[in-house]
Structure 1
Amino acid sequence: MKMITIRWALLLPLLLLNHWGNAQTTKPAVPPASFLVSFPTSKGTQFDGRLLLMLSKNNKAEPRFQITDGPETQLAFGIDVENWKAGQLKAFNQSAFGYPIESLKNVPAGEYYVQVLLDKYQTYHRADGKVVKLGWDRGEGRQWNQAPGNLYSKPIKIKYDPKASKPITLTLDQEIPPIPEPADTKYIKHIKFKSERLSKFWGRDIYLGAHVLLPEGFDEHPDARYPLAIFHGHFPDDFSGWRTTPPDTTIPCTYSARFKLDCYNRIEQQEAYDFYKMWTGPNFPRMIAIEIQHANPFYDDSYAVNSENLGPYGDAITYELIPYLEQKFRGIGQGWARFMYGGSTGGWEALAAQVFYPDEYNGCYAACPDPIDFRAFTVVDIYKDKNAYWLESDFKKTPRPGTRDYLGHVSTTLREANMRELVLGTKSRSGQQWDIWEAVYSPVGADGYPQRIWDKYTGEINPKVAQFWKENYDLSYILKRDWPKHGTKLRGKIHIYCGDMDNYYLNNAVYLMEDILKETTNPSYDGEVDYGDRAEHCWNGDHTQPNAISRLRYHRMFIPKWAKEVESRAPVGADLKSWKY
């Protein structure tokens, strides 16, 4: 026994060395491909981007239009591609990250409609020295499933078995067509404006846009100069809520599942036509109304502030685009004669621009704003909570809710919404809600992309990034911090509205800001905070109509409201009459 032990002692180091050498040289096993994807030379030679594979159990719509946060979602899987050449096969195997099922190996065998799509990226050489690969707006508002130029395949029906050895081959042989430019009319003009500030930041020409609604009598009163009403929010195809003809009763009715109303499309048309009649009628204030286009490589909207990752959009809008529009369309061109309104993203922007540029705007009407106090970043306190996705305790983990209805029924968890984004794009590139907050508010990371506020997969919060958010974009904190300096400039200008059952829990942050506003002194804020009882997203202060109607009436609600209020905040000698002809 002793001799055998000695021999093994001599042989053991050699055996271990041989094993370690094999371990170092053996490549990790690559899971077999379930799907192979390519694109033909007729569609291009080489691309970067996010390649998405989608599986649907139904053909109610193309799979690319069925990837949602809600329970009705179908399946999606994503991989990054760089320098992908025509004819080269890209594989989707069990390592591809998916939502809501994370791996193809766990997808039940069965029949599916399958589709692939390539969300294309461009390379940007930014002024900060960072080189990044991102998408870009092509008139659709940075929407991956609608962006002109993105490649996709027609849906086909397949039988899928995760244990099958033969992969399914798919070809990106379709291309989303360009979006036609809207035509100018008597009342609506469409502007495309090159921003020098943004072009310098991004290292290429960057344009801002605007839909401009001219007042009745604009041509008949060539000497009149007008206040500017700025409607913030996601950029529509044309001026929202505007229609010069009665509703088209020949088109099929569409049902609104959100509001449980039939023929909601005709209701929208009727409201838009009614606004046209009011706008051109004898008693409506005459002013210029604009909707700004500031889609960017991260999202359909810049949040109208300066950002390390997006560039100086706040300055570009305030000091470049708006003065240009006022000069072109005979605006008064002074801060007292400008005001802002909007809902959701637009609500946050209206309030943020008022806070950051107190001299340049004379009032904001912020409905259902995105989180304006990061102690209630929806349902997360980014300063105290350690994890965004879970309420943790000694013996269980409870998922945080993401979306609810007015009765409190939850349809999405916060983690589920973020996992969907992680499939659509890594490095904050999904073009969706949580990623744009990160892109706007976060400092730039070493790789040129936004630093994560929390680990996108685990939800673990980064306190250093949270502190950066606080000092630069937490509107409630900033308002309190800077009130001694700017309070006199903001008095009477702040109006906030929110449903107390907002679908995204946005009312939580409004409560916190209201507490701060109530404590203001020398001067008091002298504004307005109001809540809609059991009202969902995006209630805007109208207690006389259901939100399905009031959400269509932003222009007619806030333009006359400001026209009355401005008399108390306009400087001595300001023209308050000529534009009310």
Structure 2
Amino acid sequence: MITAMARLLALPLSGLALIGAAPPETRFDISLRAALSDDASGRLLLFAAPLSTDNGKSEDIDIYGPDDARIFVAGRDVASFGPDRTVSIDAEEGAFPKGLAGLAPGDYRVQVVLDRDGDYNYGGRGPGDLVSKVVTLRLPLGARPSIALDHKLPAAPAQFDVTGLPPRAAEQITASRPHLHDERVVSTALTRFRGTPQSVAAWVLTPPGYDPHGRVTYPTVYTAGAFGTNHRVDGQQLSRIWHLMETKAIPPMIWVTLDFASPTGTTEFADSVNNGPWGEALTREIIPALESRYRMDAKPSGRFLTGHSSGGWFALWAMVRYPAFFGGSWASSPDPVDFRHFIGVDLYQPGANMYRDAQGVARPLERAHGAVKTTIAQAAGIETVLGRDGGQLRSFDWTFSPRRADGTPAPLFDRVTGAVDAQVAAYWRDNYDSGHRIETQWPRLRHDLDGKVHVVVGTADSYYLDGAVHDLEAAFRKVGGRAEFIYVPGASHSINEVYARDGDRNAYYREMAQAMYAVARPSGATGGALKRNPPAGGRVRRRAV
């Protein structure tokens, strides 16, 4: 779901304007050092935070970090730095939460970043971005400051570089390395849609004892990461799975992590008029190609889905959309699966508004320990400043919305007022609302879907995603369908909290892996001396419908 970039609260304001006084300076001159590049383009971002003991010596001022609730950011697009290698940015315009002149007087730590590939909303600053040194400035400004873009961020570490990682994590990543296979699958469907060659990246983890030339085949688990992950992170996260298989805590299976990151956010492997036919590519091209390269079962009873957060939405949607193709889905803390609770908002209610409820109260987006961390309006505001696309909220538009005449997706809601577009919401409902799909198409779905859906979520999910899961459960109950819903009391959006039972963070991995294997091998064969574990218990509320 939403990453830490959304945790921005309103800054204190002060009345700086005096009758007859000149308005404060809000412009900055940003220069490009010749040693960095002949010229550059991208999204220019200026960050400012009140000087504190935490950031007084920091080399980075960003939307992340312990003081991110007090971060100011302004942005503008830059096509060129021109012959004088300088551009200006007016921090009174295109700023969050308000213009620079509205900030309280005092000392601020300021840094400028040129996001060269336009993915700040998705992954933050990264390799190749140009960055200035952090400077301390006093507001209100007495003169127009000049700040130089000083250095280029280096390339990302190698895939299996474990420098700085905890010893246990480093050990698991190193041990899994010989069993991880980096794959690229060319997609004719996506190439046809985009007009340029397209391929999908995946990591394939083979189990202990795997023989590529043997006769033994394995059940296969397809998974995707949370919003903000990428192909490199996907590979590292499979190290935990290798450790569990190596220690016989889970059965031997092939695990595949699929990369669904794109310049517009995550595609969710859903067919979309904006992103393209990702569902078609998954089921007709990617999976068949991998099954031709590896000793996979290559049949519905041997194909499984799992994922967390945005990956959880993928795992559930692929199951509901292609019920005859997969043997079961285990989704955890999925992005909204029923749009009657879309981050707490009923999109179908007349006059629905993403920013405020019927009483005018600001709608929360993120909570922690019972307290609101940020609102939907604030998250939308920061996304708008950081860039046009790539943020979580805009990513939903790219996946779920109809396409406008200009080739961009219709926004679900007005980014200024928060008003929901009822026609766009109806399009979302008819094409991507899993709960609505269950209620309206159950006679057609029942034969292939009944009993295959498993969802787990925390009762204190950080983004209120448990509400939509309850709606999905109600949809199954309404049609008399069988599915499993697990609610973990007090658990937030953290996968470690959702998967943990009695202090064991791997408990749900074991439970779902054993359940998958039981579907694939109903005879009870385990492929080795598997450590049998009872269903994860603890304080979970388990509901089978």
Q: 1:229-378 alignment to 2 at 5 Å?
A: 229-234=221-226, 235=230, 236-237=232-233, 239-241=235-237, 243=239, 272=240, 276-281=242-247, 284-299=250-265, 301-378=266-343
Give the whole-Å Cα distance in 2 for the aligned partners of 1:155 and 1:67.
Answer: 15
1:143 maps to which of 112, 123, 127? 123
Q: Give the CA deviation at 1:367.
A: 1.0
Letter in 2 for 1:529: F
Q: Give the CA deviation at 1:173.
A: 3.4
Answer yes or no: is the 8 Å Cα contact 2:62–2:71 preserved in 1.
Answer: no
Give the whole-Å Cα distance in 2 for the aligned partners of 1:212 and 1:32.
Answer: 55
Tell me which residue corresponds to 1:419. 381
1:224 pairs with 2:216: yes
Q: Give the CA deviation at 1:198.
A: 2.1
Q: Give the CA deviation at 1:90.
A: 2.5
Tell me which residue corresponds to 2:131. 152
Give the whole-Å Cα distance in 1 for the aligned partners of 2:444 and 2:33.
Answer: 61
Q: Give the CA deviation at 1:97.
A: 2.0
1:545 maps to which of 493, 499, 502? 502
Q: 1:472 to 1:84 in 2, by over 3 A?
A: farther
SS of residue matched to 1:514 = helix
Instruction: Please say which of residues 379-388 and 57-66 is displaced more in the overlay.
Output: 57-66
Tell me which residue corresponds to 1:529. 485
Answer yes or no: is the 8 Å Cα contact 2:75–2:95 preserved in 1.
Answer: yes
Q: What is the number of residues matched between the two proteins?
A: 483
Structure with max Cα Rg: 1
Answer yes or no: is the 8 Å Cα contact 1:386–1:460 preserved in 2.
Answer: yes
Tell me which residue corresponds to 1:10. none
Tell me which residue corresponds to 2:203. 211
Give the whole-Å Cα distance in 2 for the aligned partners of 1:553 and 1:61.
Answer: 39
CA RMSD for the aligned pairs?
A: 3.0
Give the whole-Å Cα distance in 2 for the aligned partners of 1:177 and 1:454.
Answer: 38
Q: Give the CA deviation at 1:321.
A: 1.8
Tell me which residue corresponds to 1:463. 422
Q: Give the CA deviation at 1:199.
A: 2.8
Give the whole-Å Cα distance in 2 for the aligned partners of 1:95 and 1:399.
Answer: 24
Q: Give the CA deviation at 1:469.
A: 0.8
Answer yes or no: is the 8 Å Cα contact 2:500–2:507 preserved in 1.
Answer: no
Q: 1:49 to 1:347 in 2, by over 3 A?
A: same
Answer yes or no: is the 8 Å Cα contact 2:312–2:335 preserved in 1.
Answer: yes
Instruction: Please say which of residues 355-364 and 215-224 is displaced more in the overlay.
Output: 215-224
Q: 1:339 to 1:85 in 2, by over 3 A?
A: farther
1:185 pairs with 2:177: yes
2:43 maps to which of 34, 44, 50? 50
Instruction: Please say which of residues 72-81 and 171-180 is displaced more in the overlay.
Output: 171-180
Tell me which residue corresponds to 1:254. none
Q: Give the CA deviation at 1:510.
A: 0.9
1:77 maps to which of 71, 74, 79? 74
Q: 1:445-456 alignment to 2 at 5 Å?
A: 445-456=404-415
Instruction: Please say which of residues 364-373 and 69-78 is displaced more in the overlay.
Output: 69-78
Give the whole-Å Cα distance in 1 for the aligned partners of 2:319 and 2:83.
Answer: 49
SS of residue matched to 2:454 = strand
Give the whole-Å Cα distance in 2 for the aligned partners of 1:51 and 1:155.
Answer: 15
Tell me which residue corresponds to 2:151. 174
1:111 pairs with 2:107: yes
Give the whole-Å Cα distance in 2 for the aligned partners of 1:371 and 1:310.
Answer: 19
C-alpha deviations, 1:422-478, integer Å up to 9, x for none? 11113xx1x222121122111222332221111112211111111111111111111
Tell me which residue corresponds to 2:18. none
Letter in 2 for 1:143: G
1:503 pairs with 2:462: yes
Answer yes or no: is the 8 Å Cα contact 1:70–1:412 preserved in 2.
Answer: no
SS of residue matched to 1:223 = coil
2:362 maps to which of 396, 399, 402? 399
Identity of aligned residues (%): 29
Letter in 2 for 1:79: R
Answer yes or no: is the 8 Å Cα contact 2:114–2:129 preserved in 1.
Answer: yes
Q: Give the CA deviation at 1:157.
A: 2.3
Q: Give the CA deviation at 1:542.
A: 5.0
Q: Give the CA deviation at 1:189.
A: 1.5
Q: 1:219 to 1:532 in 2, by over 3 A?
A: same
| Gaps in structure 1 of 5+ consecutive residues | 1-29, 122-134, 244-271, 569-574
Give the whole-Å Cα distance in 2 for the aligned partners of 1:48 and 1:444.
Answer: 27
Give the whole-Å Cα distance in 2 for the aligned partners of 1:59 and 1:557.
Answer: 47
Q: Give the CA deviation at 1:82.
A: 3.4
Q: 1:326 to 1:497 in 2, by over 3 A?
A: same
SS of residue matched to 1:529 = strand
Tell me which residue corresponds to 1:11. none
Answer yes or no: is the 8 Å Cα contact 1:63–1:74 preserved in 2.
Answer: no
Q: Give the CA deviation at 1:118.
A: 1.7
Give the whole-Å Cα distance in 2 for the aligned partners of 1:445 and 1:48.
Answer: 27
Q: Give the CA deviation at 1:194.
A: 2.9
Q: 1:55 to 1:329 in 2, by over 3 A?
A: same
Q: Give the CA deviation at 1:187.
A: 1.4
Q: Give the CA deviation at 1:284.
A: 4.1
Q: Give the CA deviation at 1:369.
A: 0.9
Q: 1:171 to 1:282 in 2, by over 3 A?
A: closer
Q: Give the CA deviation at 1:282.
A: 5.4
